Structure 1
C-alpha cells in the first residue's frame, strides 16, 4: 500500500515539475536597444505605446548575385553577423559555430541566417558563393551578402555590432563576433559571442524560446 506521505511527495514533485515547465514555456527574451514612449489615439483615448529599436529596411547583393531585402526575412526569426571570407582571426570559429545552428534548423522555414561581409573590396558574390559552399551551406536559408561600405557598416550599427576598416587589424578589418538574434518584428532579442561555446549554447536555448514566443 502506498502511504499518504509517499502520495504527498509524489504530488509535490509533480507540482514542482509542472511549475518549472510553465516557467520555461512562459519565459520571454528581453528586447535590446533604445526605446521610446509614444502617445497615440485609440478609440478616442490617448494611450502610451513603446516603440522599440528595429533593424531598418535594407537591400544587399547575395552569393547568387541576387538582390535580397528585409522582406525576404518577414515572418521569420533570424541570426545575423558580420565577417569577411579571408578573416584570419575570429571569423572561422564564429562561422563554424553558426553552422551548427544552421544545421539544427536546416529546412525550418521559420528560421533564417544572414552574414554580412565587411570586406566590400574583395568579397564579391562569386567569392561569397565559394565560401558558403566550402562551409557547407547548400540552401537559401543562409544568405551571405555584400554591399557598399556605407550600407554594410551602416547596418552594422543598427545591429549594435562594431565594424571598422583598419589596416593594423588582422586581415585589414576590425569587428565584433556577435551572433545577433532578431525576431519577427525586426527587434534585437539577443547577442552572443560566436567564438564562445557557452554563449553559442545560450543562442540555441534562446532561439527555441523565441520560436515558442512567435507561435
Structure 2
C-alpha cells in the first residue's frame, strides 16, 4: 500500500510541476469523501489522513506531544542510535535540513527511535549532541514498542524487530514532511542527496503556504 501511495504522490508532484505558478504540495494518503449537512444543505467534504495525537519521552527525559508541533511544519523519521546501515546517512541528510532552518520557529524535526530497549533518553541525548544538535528544534524520542511502531504506519514508514538484519531492527529510511494540519505533504528517501535537496525545497514551498 505504501508503494502505491508514494507512486500516486510522485504522479501528483509531476502534475503540479507542469502547472504554471504552482507552488502547493499535494496531501499524501488515502482520503475519504463524505456528505454532511450544513445549514440544511448537503455538502461534500473531503477528509484527509492525519497524524494522530501522540506523546513520547524525549532526549531530556521530558514528555512531549503533538502539541509541541502546533503551528509548525516538521520532518519526522524513524531510526535507532546503533544502526549500522541506513541511519547514519539518513540522519546526516536530515542534519542538512536542520542546519538550513535552524532558528526558524516554524520548522521542527522529530526522530523516533525504534530501539525501545536500548535508546533511553540519556542515549538519545548523547547521540543528538554528537550529531551536532544543540537546541530543542530537533526532538529525539522513545516510547513503548506499541506506541512507536504503531505510529510509524501513520507516517507510511515500515518498522519491525528482525534478528536476521544488522542491528536487529528493520525500517524504511523515509523523511516525512508534515504540515500544520498534521497532513503528510512529502515523503523522501533519506539516504539520497537528491531527495534531501527536494525536501529542502519543499519545506520552503510549504512555509510559503502559511505566510
Q: Tell whether the structures are fold-level matches, with TM greater than 0.5.
A: yes
Secondary structure of residue in 2 paired with 1:164: strand
1:95 aligns with 2:97: no
Which residue, out of 165, 173, 182, partners 1:169? 165
Q: Deviations over 1:23-69 (max 9, x none)?
A: 44x42111111110121222221101100010000000000000000
Q: Deviations over 1:121-169 (max 9, x none)?
A: 0000000000000000010100000000000000000101000100011
1:30-49 alignment, distance < 5 Å: 30-49=26-45
Partner of 1:114: 110
Aligned equivalents of 1:23, 1:192: Cα separation in 2: 24
TM-score, with length taken from structure 2: 0.90
Aligned equivalents of 1:98, 1:77: Cα separation in 2: 14
TM-score, with length taken from structure 1: 0.88
Secondary structure of residue in 1 paired with 2:37: strand
1:71-150 alignment, distance < 5 Å: 71-150=67-146
Which residue, out of 186, 189, 205, partners 1:190? 186
1:203 aligns with 2:199: yes
Which residue, out of 171, 175, 180, partners 1:179? 175
Partner of 2:209: 213
Secondary structure of residue in 2 paired with 1:112: strand
Equivalent pairs counted in the alignment come to 194
Secondary structure of residue in 1 paired with 2:111: strand
Aligned equivalents of 2:108, 2:183: Cα separation in 1: 15
Aligned equivalents of 1:183, 1:169: Cα separation in 2: 33
1:54 aligns with 2:46: no
Larger Cα-atom Rg: 1
Q: Alpha carbon RMSD of aligned pairs, Å?
A: 1.3
1:159 aligns with 2:155: yes
Aligned equivalents of 2:200, 2:55: Cα separation in 1: 28
